[in-house]
Structure 1
Amino acid sequence: MLKVIFYIKAQKANKNGEAPIFARINYMAKEVAVSSGKSISLDRWSQTNKLRNVLKLEKEKVIKHGLDNFQLAIEKKFNELFKIDPDVSLFLLKKELSGKAKTKKEAITILEVMERHNTYFKKKVDAGDRAAASLQKYERAKDLLNNFMKKQYRINDIDSTEINSAFVHNLEEYLTYESTFKGRKGIKNNSVVKYIKNYKTACNHCIKLDLLEKNPFNIYQGRLNVKDAVFLSQEELNRIESKKISIERLDKVRDIFLFSCYTGYAPVDASNLTHDNISTANNGQTWLMTNRAKTSIRANVPVLPPTLHIIKKYDGKQEGLIPRISNQKMNAYLKEIADICGIDKHLTWYVARHTFATTVTLGNGVRIENVSAMMGHTNIKQTQHYAKVLDQNVMDDMLKVMERYK
C-alpha cells in the first residue's frame, strides 16, 4: 500500500527560519524522499500541526493546497507505473516526479532492467512455471554486469540508452578473459553467449513494459559453438540395461539414467515427476504429462515398457516416480557405470536425454516434429541438432533412393 507523509528538513532552514517540505513515500517496505518545492517556518509548521489545523493565513492555505496537489500527482504517477509493473520502483517514481526523467524509456538503468526482469522471473519460479536454476543464472548475469562496470568504467550503473557497441565488446572481453567464478578465471564462449542472451531477454522484457525504446544488446553477434551431442547407440544402451550390478547405489543410478533414456526428461523434470503426472488415454496407452521446468513448455511422453518397469520397481518407495539424487552424485556414479559396462564415453545425466532424442526416437523413425514436442523444445531447430548426427538415418533414406535408381 502506498503511503505519503510530509515532513520538514529543519537542518536545511534558511536565515528566515523557513525549512523545505519533503514527501516521504513508502511502498512495500521501501521508501524514498522527494522535495515538494514548498517551504514553511519551523514555528508555523509546529503551531498548525503540520498544516492539519484550520488555516487562517493565506500563504499557508496556498502551501497546503500545493501539498494536496503534489500528493495527488504522486498517487497518479504511482498508479501509472503500477499498471506497468506492480513492483513499482520508487527510484523511478522519484525521477518521474522530480522531472529528471525525460521519458520512461530514458529513465531506466541497465541494473534496473535486470532487477525488473529478475523480479518478474522470480514470480514465475514461485508459481512453478520456471526453474529456480534459471533464475540463478539471471542473478549471476546481473552480478557479472555489476562487477564489469565497476572494474572497467568505475561506475555503479549506467543508463540503458548509453550502452553502445564499445560497451558490449568490452563486456564480452571481460566475461571471456577477466571475470572470476569459483576460483576460475574467464568464461568459455558458449557461456558468454548465453549470459549476453540473458541481457537481451531482460531488455526485451522492459521493451514490453514500454520502459525501453530498443534493445542495446541486439548489436551483439556472438554465436554458440555447436558440438555433437554425446549419446548411446542401441548396443551400448542394451549393454547398460542388461548388465548385472550388485552395488545398490549404482543399480539405482542405472535405473534413473535408463528412465531418462526412455523418456527424454532433463534431470530437474525427471526428479519432479509423481504419480499425478501419469495419465491413461482412451486407447489404454499410459502417458507421462508435465511441463518442462526450464521453459514451461508441455512435454508429454508415452510410457515405454522399460520406463514402466522402472516405475513399478520404485513404486511406493519414495515420493516421486524415481529416486532423487543430485546431479553431482549422478554424474560421478555414471562414470563407474561406464567403466563397468566397458563404454568409452563421458556419461552424464544429459547423455540420457540425448540418447532419447537420437537412438530411441529419431533412430527408430519417429518424426522430428513429434520428438521436438516430447522433449519440450521451444522450436524444431533445437531438435534438428540431434538429427544431424544420425548417419544411420541418412544411409537408410539413401538406400531407398538407390533402390529407385537400380
Structure 2
Amino acid sequence: MRSMKRSTFKVAFFLKRNALRKSGNMPIVARISIDAATVQFSTKLEINPEAWSVALGRVAGRGGEALRINNTLDSIRTALANIYHEQHEKGNTVTAEKLKNLFLGHDDSQATLLQLFAKHNSDSERLIGISTTRSTYKKYDLAMRRVEEFLRYQYNLSDISLKELNLNFIRDYELFLRTNCSLSNNVAAKMIMFLKKIVTLAFNNGMISSNPFANYHIKLNRVDRGYLTNEELETMMSKEINIKRLDQVRDVFVFCCFTGLSYVDVRNLTHSNVRTSFDGKVWIMTKRQKTDNPVNVLLLDVPRMIIEKYSGKLPCQLVLPVMSNQITT
C-alpha cells in the first residue's frame, strides 16, 4: 500500500514577552508548525524570563521548578506528536489548527463558547421588538467581540470548548477587560454579566457539568450620580445654544428632568401617549420599556412647551428628536 507523504511537523515553546505578569513571570506558549502553517496556544505555564533558555526553548537549570515545567512541556510535545502520528495512520489530513484543537479537546463535535454566544445573539436579533430591544442586542454583540479579542490575546484561539471554561478563565477575562480594554470596574462587570448569561445557559442545557461562575462574584461599585440644583437647571434652560444638535440634546435632557422618564422611554414617546384625562389635564401615558409597567405623568408647562416646539416636525408621530446614545467599539 502506498504510504502518505509526511508533512513537516514541529513543536516549539517560547515566552509571550508582551504579557508580563505582576509577579515578573511571562506565559509559556506552544507553537505547532506543519508545513508553512503555524498556530499557537497557551500552555498555562509561566516562568521568570531570566530562567528561560531561548536557545533550548525550555527552562534552564535542574531545580525543582525547572524540572516540573520542563516535564510538562515534554508531555505536551509527546502528546502532540502522538496525535499527529495517529491521525496520519488513519489517513487523515493533519493541519496545525486541527492538531491544536484535537490536543485542547474541542474538536468539531464539541460545543464551543463563541458558537453558543453567536446562536444566543442571533436569536436575540430575531426577537427585537418582541421581547428585546436593539440596544440590548448590540450590547451582547459587543460582549461577544470582547470575548473573541480575549481568546486571541490570551490563548491565540479563535474559539474555546465550553468544557475548558473555569474560574481562572473568568478572572483572566476580567483582568483583560480592566487592563487591555481600559474599562472601569462597573463596565467590566457588565461585560462579565453578559458572559455569565451565556455560560449559565450552557450549564442549564447540560452542555457543561459545572458552572465556573459558581464561585465568582461580580462586584459593582456604588455610583453617586449627583443631582442638579434648581439654579443649575435654570441656567441650562436659559443658555442660548446655536448648534441645533446640542439644542435638541438639551431639550431632551430637560424634558427627562421634569417628567422623570428615562432616556429610552422618552425616545419611544409618540403623540398618542400625550392624552387629556377625565380631569381635563394633559398627561403622558406610557409604559416603562424595562419593566413594561404603566406610568402616567402630569404634563407640566416646561415639558409641554418642549413638545410644542417639535410638534409636526418629526416622523412617525415622535414627540422629541431623541438621538442614539449607543457607543459600540
**Kept in 2: contact 1:199–1:217 (CA 8 A):** no
TM-score normalised to structure 2 length: 0.56
What are the residue-to-residue correspondences of 1:222-301 with 2, within 5 Å?
222-241=218-237, 243=238, 245=240, 247=242, 249=244, 251-284=247-280, 286-292=283-289, 295=290, 297-298=292-293, 300-301=295-296
2:196 alignment counterpart: 200
What are the residue-to-residue correspondences of 1:58-97 with 2, within 5 Å?
none
Task: For 1:257 and 1:112, locate their aligned partners in 2 and report how far apart those are by CA, in whole Å.
Answer: 40
Distance 1:263 1:207, change over 3 A: farther
Structure with more contact order per residue of length (Cα contacts < 8 Å, sep ≥ 6) = 1
Task: For 2:201 and 2:291, locate their aligned partners in 1 and report how far apart those are by CA, in whole Å.
Answer: 17
**Kept in 2: contact 1:161–1:216 (CA 8 A):** no
2:164 to 162, 175, 179: 162
Where has structure 1 moved over 6 Å in runs of 4 or more?
none
Task: For 1:211 and 1:281, locate their aligned partners in 2 and report how far apart those are by CA, in whole Å.
Answer: 54
- Matched residue count: 214
Task: For 1:175 and 1:277, locate their aligned partners in 2 and report how far apart those are by CA, in whole Å.
Answer: 41
1:111 to 89, 114, 119: 114
Task: For 2:209 and 2:296, locate their aligned partners in 1 and report how far apart those are by CA, in whole Å.
Answer: 42
What are the residue-to-residue correspondences of 1:21-100 with 2, within 5 Å?
none
Distance 1:130 1:296, change over 3 A: farther
**Kept in 2: contact 1:141–1:195 (CA 8 A):** yes
Q: Which amino acid aligns with 1:288?
A: M
**Kept in 2: contact 1:149–1:157 (CA 8 A):** yes
Deviation at 1:302, TM superposition (A): 0.8
Runs of at least 5 residues in structure 2 that lack an aligned partner in the other structure? 1-107
Task: For 2:204 and 2:278, locate their aligned partners in 1 and report how far apart those are by CA, in whole Å.
Answer: 42
**Kept in 1: contact 2:162–2:207 (CA 8 A):** no
Identity %, equivalent residues: 30
Distance 1:313 1:303, change over 3 A: farther
Runs of at least 5 residues in structure 1 that lack an aligned partner in the other structure? 1-99, 102-106, 180-185, 329-406
RMSD: 2.9
CA displacement, residues 95-149 of structure 1 (integer Å, 9 cap, x when unaligned): xxxxx96xxxxx4321122122212221222x25433222222112112212222
1:147 alignment counterpart: 149
Distance 1:308 1:207, change over 3 A: farther
Deviation at 1:321, TM superposition (A): 0.5
TM-score normalised to structure 1 length: 0.46
Q: Which amino acid aligns with 2:287?
A: T
Larger radius of gyration: 1
Deviation at 1:217, TM superposition (A): 2.7
Deviation at 1:296, TM superposition (A): 5.5
CA displacement, residues 77-102 of structure 1 (integer Å, 9 cap, x when unaligned): xxxxxxxxxxxxxxxxxxxxxxx96x
CA displacement, residues 183-220 of structure 1 (integer Å, 9 cap, x when unaligned): xxx32222111110001122334455554555323432
**Larger helix proportion of the pair:** 1
Task: For 2:296 and 2:200, locate their aligned partners in 1 and report how far apart those are by CA, in whole Å.
Answer: 32
